[in-house]
């Protein structure tokens, strides 16, 4: 009975310190929040949440390797939870530049939650970083079938089509992404980031025309584009279109 009471007290204290972490983190006190959540993790050796919170704070401090190791411990605490694997994949993908490990952990997350759309999208992006464009295409096409593909995913899929010998399909898919962006802009108002993405889509359509050897159509698209790179691209298309075509073939999507 005494052991059970002690365990209950530890769990209650762990929850208290986790709540304190949330309060301090929201207030911007990263050091204080770290102390609270570290203590919470020690009090409850079965709960992965304090370790996930600790990893989040480590990321805020730029300590990505430590965050990675902390999330690995969190995954061991609760092997059924997909969240530590998803967070691990994100650190490995975007901070540690390790798409191979990121893909492995996105797959681990999907094993635990097969309907996880963000996990599928992230896996497709990891495949792109690995150069596995066919694998990425299949993931995106499955998401499109279930109507879960975002306009960023459609944009990626269109560029994959362009790089894998299907430029007509690429143009069609990117234009679908543009319509989705336009609808979003109309509903939510102007957004610099979304508008920049919209401009990038114009250039991707021009790239598809270049791959097809339709340089005049590519020039018209670039000439109408508001993208910052458009004037330089137009100059190159006018002076050396074959050189630009080679740059499209060699360019990575990410």
Record the tokens describing residue 41, joined without a space.
Answer: 């993790």
* Residue 42 covered by a domain: yes
CATH number at residue 20: 1.25.40.10
What is the distance between the alpha carbons of residues 112 and 131, in angstroms, rounded to a whole number? 26
Identify the H or E element spanning 150: none
pLDDT: which is higher, 192 or 23:
192
Q: Rg for the chain (alpha carbons), in Å?
A: 23
DSSP sequence for 90-148: HIIIIIS--HHHHHHHHHHHHHH-TT-HHHHHHHHHHHHHHT-HHHHHHHHHHHHHTT-
* Residue 118 covered by a domain: no
pLDDT at 162: 96
Contacting residues for 19 by C-beta, under 8 A, at least 6 apart: none
Q: What is the mean pLDDT of residues 154-167?
A: 96
With a cut of 90, say whether residue 12 has pLDDT above it. Answer: no
* Residue 177 covered by a domain: no
Residue 21 banded pLDDT, cuts 50, 70, 90? low
With a cut of 80, say whether residue 46 has pLDDT above it. Answer: no
Domain count, the chain: 1
With a cut of 80, say whether residue 200 has pLDDT above it. Answer: yes
Give the burial class of 97: count Cβ atoms within 10 A of its Cβ; 0-12 exposed, 13-18 middle, 19 or more buried: exposed
With a cut of 50, say whether residue 232 has pLDDT above it. Answer: yes
* Residue 62 covered by a domain: yes
What is the distance between the alpha carbons of residues 124 and 59, in angstroms, rounded to a whole number? 23
pLDDT: which is higher, 4 or 63:
63
* Residue 2 covered by a domain: no
* Residue 196 covered by a domain: no
DSSP sequence for 3-49: HHHHHHHHHHHHHHHHHHHHHHHHTT-HHHHHHHHHHHHHH-TT-SH
What is the distance between the alpha carbons of residues 214 and 203, in angstroms, rounded to a whole number? 14
With a cut of 50, say whether residue 5 has pLDDT above it. Answer: no
With a cut of 80, say whether residue 36 has pLDDT above it. Answer: no
For residue 47, give its domain range: 10-77
pLDDT at 47: 81
* Residue 21 covered by a domain: yes
* Residue 247 covered by a domain: no
């Amino acid at each position: 009975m005494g052991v059970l009471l002690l365990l209950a007290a530890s769990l209650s204290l762990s929850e208290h310190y986790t709540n304190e972490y949330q309060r301090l983190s929201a207030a911007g006190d990263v050091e204080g929040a770290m102390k609270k959540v570290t203590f919470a993790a020690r009090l409850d050796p079965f709960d992965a949440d304090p370790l996930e919170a600790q990893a989040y704070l480590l990321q805020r401090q730029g300590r990505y390797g430590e965050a990675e190791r902390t999330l690995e411990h969190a995954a061991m605490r609760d092997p059924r939870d997909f969240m530590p694997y998803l967070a691990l994949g994100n650190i490995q993908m975007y901070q540690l530049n390790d798409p191979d490990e990121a893909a492995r952990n996105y797959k681990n997350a999907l094993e635990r939650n097969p309907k996880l759309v963000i996990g599928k999208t992230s896996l497709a992006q990891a495949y792109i970083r690995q150069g596995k464009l066919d694998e990425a295409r299949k993931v995106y096409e499955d998401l499109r079938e279930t109507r879960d593909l975002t306009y960023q995913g459609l944009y990626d899929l269109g560029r994959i089509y362009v790089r894998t010998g299907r430029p007509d399909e690429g143009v069609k898919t990117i234009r679908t992404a543009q319509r989705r962006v336009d609808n979003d802009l109309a509903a939510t108002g102007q957004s610099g980031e979304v508008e920049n993405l919209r401009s990038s889509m114009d250039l991707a359509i021009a790239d598809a025309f270049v791959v097809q050897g339709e340089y005049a159509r590519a020039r018209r698209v670039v000439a109408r584009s508001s993208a910052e790179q458009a004037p330089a691209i137009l100059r190159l298309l006018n002076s050396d279109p074959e050189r630009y075509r080679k740059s499209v073939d060699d360019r990575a999507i990410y």
